[in-house]
């Protein structure tokens, strides 16, 4: 059986009360989500001995999230990752977005979906406990055209899967690229760096970037480069190699082009942590996945239980359309038009080896 409960989590600066929702499954897996930013704050999964650990970075209090968070556990939108110079042209009209990352637009702008209060509705089915989050983004919010109605559904199943379904509809042509920004450390959120985790990606190409981390437009083979995760490889094995792409990212901060993309739910990544035996597989309907090795973490974000999140204390695997697609006609389109429905699903599946 699955269970849910809700407790108060605090109040935003503009006086909105937010809650912390707990989902639990039959195997002891526990997930906590707040409707502020749709943030996944906790995720307890068993190791090979059955011991639970919290495998996502995050904070104990809402105030910490309000003060400063590098998108810990958040829903990211309207557009995950970067749009060059915060500009794009759609149907002959140029739109201007905030430049909140140097000259570029990042993760939806100054107040993206990670910083808004969502309407939350817990639910249960025979096999899952879930939380349905809805948000209506006004026409022009953060510079994006169209009123966008968004539903993000988290569901925890008895197969130890955390499934996220994203849906959106618009009343004017717009661009959408929704993702989830958990930082994982499968040894436990407070257990040091993630360099020994072994990563495999179902991607034989990636989108190389310029020094501002904007894709050049090329789809480049990973073969014979430190970007090759075709076979499971420790994240730290090549991260310090003298490689221009690693230098631009300060480590891995790249979009990988998933092989055989057809919009169906397919395996994108597998991560194995040798000391605990924990395995996380990621399945997605999206064409890309951003692998970010936590390069900007520097200990200044003090997390749950006082854990200082030092350099590379967590990694992100953000399923997505490619960065800067609104300015790259050769990339899969992120345009959403009235009458169409944006649909995207990502599943995180936990097991042990
Ligand atoms: C994404 C970006 C990174 C960084 C993190 C959050 O992964 O690609 O450059 O912004 O989010 O710090």
- Which pLDDT band, with edges at 50, 70 and 90, does 1 fall under? very low
Of ligand 1's listed atoms, the one at least distance from the Cα of 292 is 7
Pairing of strands 52-54, 40-46: antiparallel
Asked if the model's pLDDT at residue 297 lies above 50, the reply is yes
The residue annotated as part of the active site, out of 42, 181, 197, 254, is 181
Kindly report, residue by residue over 26-50, the tens digit of the pLDDT: 999 999 999 999 999 999 999 999 9
Separation in Å, CA 243 to CA 30, 131, 138 = 40, 42, 43
Q: Residue 62 domain-assigned? A: yes
How far apart are alpha carbons 109 and 337 in whole angstroms?
A: 21
**Residue 251, token pair as written in the block:** 């480590």
Burial (CB count within 10 angstroms: exposed 0-12, middle 13-18, buried 19+), residue 305: exposed
Q: Residue 2 domain-assigned? A: no
Q: Is 321 a catalytic residue?
A: no
Question: What pLDDT does 3 receive?
Answer: 65
Mean local confidence (pLDDT), 237-259: 98
Kindly report, residue by residue over 62-75, the tens digit of the pLDDT: 999 999 999 999 99
Q: What distance in angstroms lies between residue 3's CA and the mean position of ligand 1's atoms?
A: 33
**Segments in the chain forming alpha helices (H):** 62-67, 244-249
Of ligand 1's listed atoms, the one at least distance from the Cα of 106 is 10
Task: Supply the CATH number for residue 207's domain.
Answer: 2.70.98.10
Q: Is 94 a catalytic residue?
A: no
Cβ of 93: how many Cβ atoms within 10 Å?
9
Nearest CA to ligand 1 atom 7: 292
The residue annotated as part of the active site, out of 141, 169, 286, 318, is 318
> What pTM was computed for the model?
0.98
The DSSP-derived string for 63-129 is HHHHH--S-TTEEE-SB-SEEGGGEEEETTEEEE----BTTBEETTSTT-GGGSBPEEEEEE-SSEE
Number of domains in the chain: 1
- Which pLDDT band, with edges at 50, 70 and 90, does 51 fall under? very high
Q: Residue 1 domain-assigned? A: no
Separation in Å, CA 115 to CA 37, 69, 288 = 5, 10, 24
- Residue-number span of the structural domain to which 342 is assigned: 7-352
Q: What distance in angstroms lies between residue 290's CA and the mean position of ligand 1's atoms?
A: 9
Q: Residue 160 domain-assigned? A: yes
Asked if the model's pLDDT at residue 6 lies above 50, the reply is yes
How far apart are alpha carbons 69 and 67 in whole angstroms?
A: 7
């Amino acid at each position: 059986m699955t269970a849910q409960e809700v407790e108060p989590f605090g109040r935003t600066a503009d006086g909105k009360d937010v809650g912390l929702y707990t989902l639990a499954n039959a195997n002891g897996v526990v997930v906590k989500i707040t409707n502020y930013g749709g943030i996944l704050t906790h995720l307890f999964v068993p190791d090979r001995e059955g011991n639970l650990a919290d495998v996502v970075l995050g904070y104990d209090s809402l105030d910490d999230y309000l003060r400063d968070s590098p998108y810990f556990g958040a829903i990211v939108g309207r557009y995950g990752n970067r749009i060059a110079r915060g500009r794009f042209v759609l149907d002959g009209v140029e739109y201007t977005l905030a430049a909140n990352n140097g000259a570029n637009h990042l993760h939806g702008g100054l107040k993206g979906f990670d910083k808004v209060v969502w309407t939350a509705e817990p639910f249960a089915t025979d096999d899952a406990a879930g939380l349905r989050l809805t948000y209506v983004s006004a026409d022009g919010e953060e510079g994006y055209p169209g009123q966008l109605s968004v539903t993000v559904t988290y569901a925890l199943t008895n197969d130890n899967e955390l499934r996220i379904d994203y849906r959106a509809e618009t009343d004017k042509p717009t661009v959408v690229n929704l993702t989830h920004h958990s930082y994982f450390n499968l040894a436990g959120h407070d257990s040091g760096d993630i360099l020994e985790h072994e990563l495999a990606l179902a991607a034989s190409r990636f989108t190389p970037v310029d020094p501002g981390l904007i894709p050049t437009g090329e789809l480049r083979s990973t073969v014979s480069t430190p970007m090759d995760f075709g076979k499971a490889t420790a994240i730290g094995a090549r991260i310090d190699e003298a490689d221009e792409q690693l230098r631009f990212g300060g480590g891995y901060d790249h979009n990988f082009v998933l092989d055989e993309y057809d919009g169906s739910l397919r395996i994108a990544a597998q991560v194995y942590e040798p000391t605990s035996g924990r395995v996380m597989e990621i399945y997605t309907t999206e064409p890309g996945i951003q692998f970010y090795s936590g390069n900007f973490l520097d200990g200044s974000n003090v997390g749950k239980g006082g854990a200082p999140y030092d350099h590379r204390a967590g990694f992100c695997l953000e399923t997505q359309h490619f960065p800067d697609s609104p300015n790259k006609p050769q990339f899969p389109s992120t345009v959403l038009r009235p009458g169409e429905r944006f649909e995207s699903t990502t599943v995180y599946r936990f097991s042990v080896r």
